[in-house]
Structure 1
Amino acid sequence: METPEPKLVQGGTVHGLFQIALKDRLSAAGWEALREAGLDLSKPLLPTYPLSQWLRWQRIVLADVWPDLPEDEAWRQLGHTVMQGLLGTVLGRMLGVGVRALGPQFVLFQLNRGFRGADNYVTTQVKASAPGRVELWLSDINERPTYYVGVLESVLTLSGARMPRVAILRREGPSCTYLLEWEP
């Protein structure tokens, strides 16, 4: 029997969130909690990190940056913040220019490639049902459906979508299907 590949998050994703997007937003106690949980930014970042560490670090961020928000809204905000961090990297800035030029419909059909740059375990399937309306299936959301609402809202906004809206249509085991809409 084949052993499944471990779920990993790319070091660039960690860099974008912690060294760019949250650089000035976390409290001293938050930075200490992250260090105790295995994220020591005084050392060079690794190429990849186990998903379990990434999820633990995200929970520390939720408690430190958005302690007063309902949990679903805090996850949504974290999804936006991760995207801000990724777009703050050199590669992210270059990709951001291209995404704006290509528009939302094209970009959504390329999300599988985009997720490969962030991790090794999320896959997507896209089904366009009308202009400005797409169903997007994500294979593994790790019990964070509203985190991906924030990520997808950011993707739509970045791609030039007017009045973007993201809703959760259904959850099936580890996967989730979202409805993405915008003014065509």
Structure 2
Amino acid sequence: METLEPKLVQGVTIQGLFDIALKERLSEGAWRALSAGGLDRSRPVRPTYPVATWLRWQNIVLRDLWPDAPLDEAWRRLGHTVMEGLLATVLGRMLGVGARALGPQFALAKLDHAFPGTGNYIRSHVRPVAPCRAELWLSDLNDRPTYYVGVLEAVLLLAGATSPRCTLLCREGDSGTYLLEWSV
């Protein structure tokens, strides 16, 4: 889905990753690079950030935390880490309680409403295909499909799934469809 508005990432995503999940994990060099790239930790998190800035910051994190990991694995780990940070925010803790209480199928159904809360440019659609199995379409992968593998695995784990598996089935332009499978 193409928007005419600039692509923006919500500040809660930035706060969760940098102020919570990575606060003690990044090197001084990475913090300097992030600062030079526009992340001003001396000021409150802004409501939104340009997606291009967010993507540059992600690359700095990858190089710092997982320099020797295969790129796809580093992206997957970053997806998990972003979810770790988001779920530690006030809003994320509330959403996490609901997801755990209601299970994976319900949590996936709510993603259609959750993704726009992290960025104004991303839409999703979940289609259950069998018990413990669903297909999920995402409108914009930002050329980071395995990042979303990590995000989706983290969502399933939060919702009580065991052995979550997330496979990219196909890409069409900027969008992609994933197969999500899990055990309970």
TM-score, structure 1 normalization: 0.96
CA distance in 1, matches of 2:162, 2:36: 42
2: CA distance, partners of 1:106 / 1:94: 15
2:26 counterpart SS class: coil
Partner of 1:48: 48
The aligned counterpart of 1:34 is 34
Partner of 2:142: 142
Once the two structures are TM-superposed, the CA of residue 129 in structure 1 deviates from its matched residue by 1.1
Counterpart of 1:175 in structure 2 is 175
Shift of 1:109: 1.2
Matched, 1:60 2:53: no
Q: Distance in 1 between matches of 2:112 and 2:41?
A: 29
Check whether the contact 2:112–2:126 (CA below 8 A) recurs between aligned residues.
no
Which AA in structure 2 matches 1:32?
Answer: R
Identity %: 66
Amino acid corresponding to residue 40 of structure 1 in structure 2: D
Q: How far apart, CA to CA, are the structure 2 residues paired with 1:163 and 1:65?
A: 25
* Deviation of 1:154 (Å): 0.2
- Unpaired runs of 5+ residues, structure 2, are none
Q: Which residue of the partner structure matches residue 110 of structure 2?
A: 110
Please give the alpha-carbon distance, in whole angstroms, between the structure 2 residues aligned to 1:162 and 1:26: 29
Distance (whole Å) between structure 2 residues aligned to residue 117 and residue 124 of structure 1: 12
Q: Is the 8 A contact 2:141 2:148 kept in 1?
A: yes
Q: How does 1:92-131 map to 2 (within 5 A)?
A: 92-131=92-131
* CA displacement at 1:167 relative to structure 2: 0.7
Residue 59 of structure 2 aligns to a residue whose secondary structure is helix
Q: Could you tell me how far 1:162 is from its partner in structure 2?
A: 2.1
* Structure 1 residue 76, shift from structure 2 partner: 0.4
Return the alpha-carbon distance in structure 2 between the equivalents of residues 183 and 19 of structure 1.
Answer: 33
How far the C-alpha of 1:110 sits from its partner, in A, is 1.1
Distance 1:120 1:40 in 2: 22
| Structure 1 residues not aligned, in runs of 5+ | none
Counterpart mapping for 1:73-92 below 5 A: 73-92=73-92
CA distance, structure 1, for counterparts of residue 129 and residue 99 of structure 2: 21
- The number of residues matched between the two structures is 182
Asked whether the equivalents of residues 7 and 120 of structure 2 are also in contact (C-alpha less than 8 Å), the reply is: yes
CA distance in 2, matches of 1:111, 1:74: 23
How is 1:143-162 mapped onto 2 (pairs within 5 angstroms)?
A: 143-162=143-162
Report the 3-state secondary structure (helix = DSSP H, G, I; strand = E; otherwise coil) of the residue aligned with 2:97: helix
Please provide the CA RMSD for this pair: 1.0
The 2-side partners of 1:21 and 1:44 are apart by 17
Cα distance in structure 1, aligned partners of 2:50 and 2:67: 25
The amino acid across from 1:176 in the alignment is G
Runs of 4+ in 1 over 6 A off after TM superposition: none
SS at match of 1:110: helix
